[in-house]
Amino acid sequence: MRTKLVSLDDAASIVRDGQKVIMSAGFEHSPMAMLRTLARKGVKDLHTIGLVGGSINLDFLVGTGQTKTLECCSIGFAPFAREAPNFDRYLKAGRIFAMDNT
């Protein structure tokens, strides 16, 4: 039987410019190694979607400049901070488009 496990580089190569990237919220299960690999690959103009909100994972993709559109019901660093810093800065500067999916 063929293994379904692939390297981070191989998994990240599936994601192309302008595609949707969907993940759940929270600090506990954020795929940070995968997100760092996507950042190194320079994928851009992503439509990033957070299920049940967003946290460090979505804010990271915003801060690396890869997210063009962010769709989630909320994004923050609770209990550490009220706002996600990259999201707040990019939104105020008009560098991303935010969609509320409450």
Supply the CATH number for residue 96's domain.
3.40.1080.10
| Amino acid letter, 49 | I
- Confirm whether 89 is domain-assigned: yes
- Confirm whether 78 is domain-assigned: yes
When pLDDT is cut at 50, 70 and 90, the band that residue 17 belongs to is very high
| Amino acid letter, 12 | A
In angstroms, the first-to-last Cα distance of the chain is 42
Residue 29 confidence (pLDDT) above 80: no
- Confirm whether 81 is domain-assigned: yes
Residue 28 confidence (pLDDT) above 90: no
Residue 9 confidence (pLDDT) above 90: yes
When the pLDDT of each residue in the chain is averaged and rounded to a whole number, the result is 90
Dihedral of CA 89/90/91/92: which sign? Answer: positive
Can you give the pLDDT at residue 90? Answer: 95
61: containing domain: 14-100
Percent of the chain with pLDDT over 90: 64
- Confirm whether 67 is domain-assigned: yes
Mean pLDDT along residues 54-70: 92
Domain tally, the chain: 1
What is the pTM assigned to this prediction? 0.86
Mean pLDDT along residues 52-70: 91
- Confirm whether 33 is domain-assigned: yes
Can you give the pLDDT at residue 54? Answer: 81
- Confirm whether 2 is domain-assigned: no
Nearest residue to 20 via CA among 43, 40, 37: 43
- Confirm whether 7 is domain-assigned: no
In whole angstroms, what is the distance from residue 10 CA to residue 2 CA?
A: 16
Residues in the chain: 102
Can you give the pLDDT at residue 60? Answer: 93
